[in-house]
Structure formats: structure tokens, C-alpha cells
Chain A
Amino acid sequence: MTLSRRNILKIGGAAAALPLLGSRAFAQTEPLKVGFMLIGTVNDNGWNFGHDEGRKFMEEQLGSAVTSTVVENVPEGPDSERVLRELAQSGHKLIFATSFGYGDYVLKVAQQFPDVIFEHATGYQRADNVGTYNARFYEGRAVCGDIAGHMSKTGKAGYIGSFPIPEVVMGINSFTLAARKVNPDFTMTPVYISTWNDPAREADAARAMIDQGIDIIAQHTDGPAALQVAQERGIVGGFGQGADMSAFAPEAQLTSIIDIWGPHYTKTAQEVLDGTWVSDDEWPGIADGAVVIGPYGEKVPEEVVASAETLKAAIIAGASTIWTGPIRDTEGNIRIAEGETMTDEQLLTMDWYVEGVNPPA
């Protein structure tokens, strides 16, 4: 056969068709490629570490049925769109995007790849091939708030926040509501630092709070910097976020909220393998094992542990009244009337603070 232009095209066409045949023929044995896009690094001992542990759990559970790829340090901007597209183009049929700010890009790329399934963590926008999932961290925050209400001597707590998004605001409110049930004078001061990962800044924020009289610190950023400062200054303590951080602050960590994503990842991948996946919103909490309260610090007295465990049991039993009115906002207006309970919809769009929070600018 002479290598004319036409023949080359024919050969090329035949070669291009081969993988199509192949994928049909070997569909049973080809593993599902699962992509994970993370905002930070899997070594952060917090949020991203938690997601990576979930990924490993999924791989263990499903064995050769899945393979996975992790892309770390993807900023919540146009870069995330590029990464999503690359994952989709390189054959990933299930992609987890694990930060709030990825939302718009997930929807955009999902339109271009209708046969790829996307799952967006902590988001609220869905499509036929885009589902959302989250965990009810606020349940863990309430348990922390209960401990803080019992243990704080000054009655003042600080909260290092990344961005004032509903996920963070909800945590601050839940913590404060629980603490004020124990100590009605308890106040909470949030400080937003406009980043998920700047340990030096987190530490400075913690110092600024402690210098001004707080003795309990909580954080919604990705690392243990605030707890280290709590340890260094010898205040009452703080809470691990996303993972057990007791190695960094053995005395100061009162307990921690641990995220367990593994079961969700396993279940979702299995649904995609079985072809039963449908777009929905999943929001499991302590009762489902998605949010776990870590070991209590040695400093926490027995009666405080008992109180925290009682609250935890109430949450598991579905009898918790975290979001049941009357709930007032910072101005003293009743936002949730007596006997009324906030809906998930109201929680997910929360942009106001409860009484006891010193509202940030």
C-alpha cells in the first residue's frame, strides 16, 4: 500500500476507531476513573487531608473497580475550570470538586461533558450531572460550643474564619447558640482573614484575640496554627477542625471535629459503577458518621464531657434543638420564632449572626 494522504487518513481513522471498540469489549474490567480537585494540599491535617482519607477509603472498599487522581492546590478561580476540563478529557467519569468557590466552574464544565458526573462539596447549585454534598459540621460546632460555654472563664471566644460564606457563618452561629445555652453572657468574635491557608496570619489573628481577652478559640481555616498559639499562650483551649490536631496542641485541644468523607465517596462511586447515580444533595451529620467528635482533651472535666455527650446523643437521636427558636440576631430581633426550626434551605443561605456574636464589618 502506498502511503498516500488518503491511505494515511484511512489508517488514522481505523486506529481512532479501535479504542471505541476496545472500550465496549472490555467495559467490564476497565476501572472507573475518579478525580478529586482540592483547594490545598493533602498534608494540611485538616480539610484536604480529610478528603484524601476519604479517597483512600473509597479505593480500599472498591478495589480494582476504581482508580483515582488527586489534583492539589487548585485556586477557586479560572484555574479550577481548566483542571476540571483536563480531568474530564482524560477519562475521569466521576469528579469531586471539594471547595465552595468551585461551584460556578463545575456547572460550566459539566455542561460541556454531559457524560461525566460531578459532585461539588459544600455547594448549592445542581444540574443533571452535578450533585452536591456536604457534612453537617455545625452539629460538631454545637458540641464544641457546649464545651466552650462550660469551660471559658472570660465568657469570650474568638473564631478565625476564612470567608463569610454560609458554611462558616452557620458554624459560628451553631457554636454560639450552644455556648449561650450554658452561659447566657457568652460572646463570640469572628475574625475573617480572607484565605484558607496562611498559617502565620492565622497565628497572628489568634494572638490578637487572646491579647484582647478571649480564652477559647475556634477556627474554620485549614490548619492547626490557632491551636498552636492557644497552647503557647496557655489559654483554656480550642478545637481541631477537620482532623485531630492534638499533636500540635496536646493541652489546648479540647476536642476536634473530624470529617469522614469515605462512605460518601464509596457510595457515590458505587452508584456510578452501577449506573444508579442521580443528582441530589447529601448532607449527612454526626448520626451518619460523616462528622465525628474526636477524643476529649485531658483538661475537659468529666461533667463537661457528659454534657457534650448528652448533646451529641440528642443530635444523633434527631432531638437536638440547635436551630429551634426563639433565635435572635445581633440586633436583638427575633429571626426564628419560638417553636420554629430552621430549614436546611435557611441554613444553607445563612448570612446573619445570632445574638452573642460581635458582628464583623
Chain B
Amino acid sequence: MSLLIPILITVIGASTPILIAALGELVVEKAGVLNLGVEGMMLVGAIVGFLVVFLTGNHYLALLLAAGAGLLTSLIFAFLTLNLSANQTATGLALTIFGTGFSALAGQGYSARPVTLMSPLFPPELATHPVWRIVFGFPAPVYFSLVMVVAIWWFFKKSRLGLILRAVGENDLSAHSIGYSVIGVRYMAVMFGGAMAGIGGACFPLLLTPQWAEGMTAGRGWIAVALVVFSSWRPFRLLAGAYLFGLVMTMELYAKAGGGPLAVIPAELWSAMPYIATVVVLVLISIRRDASTNAPACLGKPFLPTN
């Protein structure tokens, strides 16, 4: 089927920013922190990424500075929730509102300025055949997201630091009592999550549509947060989930543009598909009472050492 390759290319493009942001949030939540500010941090990453490309033309510098901008934004959240023990849910929501407003302000007057899309990482000679395009035809963030899936899996499964981070997320008081810095570990996790959200956001002007538009992430940050739950906090399931969501979002468009049986489903229902899928998975998880949802035990709770 000649459409398979183009569909896959579009699916991977649509899934990558969500996957990158969700991987960051996965690490944050594994450390026991719930940061609902992903959408806001992505928007900050998107505007910074756009501005850097617009001013310098360098896409790699744009990704780097977008990561830095996401990280700085996440520090606001880290300070409020970790040092001052502010409510994580409310602070995360506030961070999204802040990121939306800040990016709109910073982007004022730049919406009429086109930039260029990021070129593929490998030389085009490698990607001449459609099948090789799937392997070699993408810009760097796509490969980065896949490497990060493996790296984060390895980090939690095999590394000592990963074990400490999980301990902090599962039982902060115990981790604290044996001498680990709960706040320190959580700071690192939140900053990592911020940097990843920044990169994910920068993918919008760099990979998907080379322009700045207010609110251009259009709710993908929320999908990233939902995906972490969807994946039961497992990196490879997160990869599968992100591509599944990308597939659902993309298949709708291909079905509508080309007709066929899938086109019979109304557009409104297609738009609701990712949310419906999330609810279904959450219900399925909660039906299996025996197996826990795998959520970190300290998720969303402030760390208040008694002594």
C-alpha cells in the first residue's frame, strides 16, 4: 500500500513532540512530583525555539535554548512546590497559564515571520527509497526521542541514580532517613522534565509547521501528561502510547482526505478519540484491581520531613 509510508512519516512527526514531553513528565512523576505545567513549558520552548531559529537560523541551538527555557520555567514550579510545599496541582495549572501568557507576549509581532523546517539528520542520499525514508529521513529530535526511551528505561532499570529517584518517588521519608536528598533529587527530575517539555515544544515550529502561532501546541502538553498515566509509568509503553495517539490523530486526517470506511466517523468523534482512549485505558487499569496502577506512591504529595 503506497500510502503506508507517508502515513507513518506523518504519524512519527505528530507523535514526537508529545513523546519527548511525556518522557520528561515520566521522570518527574517517578520522583513523586506531579507537574501539570507541561503545556505551558512546551509553549515557552516553542517560542524560544522559534525566536532562536528566526534570529540565528541554527536549529540545534534553538533546541538547546528551548530546553534551557523549559528548564528555567520548571524552576519556578520546583521552587514553589519543593521549597515552599505549594500544592502541586494548582502550581502546575498556574505554570501552564503563565507559559501560555509569557509565550504570547514574547511572540508578539513574530507571527508573520516564517522560518525554515529542520533538515533530516542523515544525508538525503540515504533516504532516497521510501522505506529508507522511514529509517533515515527524519530530523534529529525524532531519533533523540527514541534514544531517550531506551536511556530512561535503562536509567530506571539499571542505574543507581535511577533507583534512588524511584525510592524518592515511592517513599520519600525512607529515602530521606537513609540520607538521600529528596528535594535535591526532585529538583533534578523537575528540571529534566522542563528541559524535555521545552524541546517537545520547540518541535512545533522546527518540525511541524515553521511559524509561531499563539497557543500552537494546542493541548498536546495535556496529552503528554495523560500518556504518562496511560503508560503506567513505563517508557516503552509510553512510546507505544505516543505513537498510538499520533496514529489516531493522523488516521482521521487521511481517512477524511481519502474516503473509505474510516471517513464515516464524524470529525468531532475523531477529535475526541485521544481522550476516549485515555479514559478507556484508565478504566481498564482500574478494573485490574490486583495489579496496581504502578503510580509512584508519593506522587503529588509534598515532602514534609518530620524532623
Contact = CB atoms under 8 A, between A and B. Distances in A.
Given A199-B211, A199-B213, A211-B6, A189 B257 contact: yes
B3 A247 contact: no
Interface string B197-230: 0000000100011110111111010000000000
A223 B263 contact: no
Contacts of B210: 228
Given A43-B108, A43-B112, A194-B268, A361 B263 contact: yes
Interface stretch (B29-37, B57-65, B246-254): B246-254
Contact of B257 (A198, A201, A212, A361): A212
14 contacts: A43-B213, A193-B271, A197-B214, A199-B208, A201-B253, A202-B209, A207-B253, A208-B10, A211-B10, A211-B254, A212-B257, A214-B257, A225-B209, A361-B264
B7 A211 contact: yes
Contact of A223 (B108, B213, B249): B213
A361 B211 contact: no
Contacts of B133: none
A44 B6 contact: no
A185 interface: no
A186 B266 CA distance: 25
A204 interface: yes
B10 A204 contact: yes
Counting contact residues on chain B (CB < 8 A from A), the size range is 35 or more
A198 B111 CA distance: 14
Interface of A: 40-41, 43-45, 73, 158, 189-195, 197-205, 207-209, 211-212, 214, 223-225, 228-229, 232, 247-248, 358, 360-361
B230 to A, nearest CB: 20
B111 A43 contact: yes
B103 to A, nearest CB: 11
Interface of B: 3, 6-7, 10, 13-14, 104, 107-114, 117, 204, 208-211, 213-218, 220, 249-250, 253-254, 256-259, 263-268, 271
B114 A248 contact: yes
B122 to A, nearest CB: 19
Contacts of A158: 257
A304 B113 CA distance: 29
A251 to B, nearest CB: 12
B218 A197 contact: yes
Given A45-B112, A199-B208, A73 B257 contact: no
B250 to A, nearest CB: 6
A249 to B, nearest CB: 8
B254 A228 contact: no
B262 to A, nearest CB: 9
Contact of A204 (B114, B217, B253): B253
B267 A40 contact: no
A44 B109 CA distance: 10
Contact of B253 (A73, A197, A199, A208): A208
Given A45-B111, A197-B218, A209 B257 contact: yes
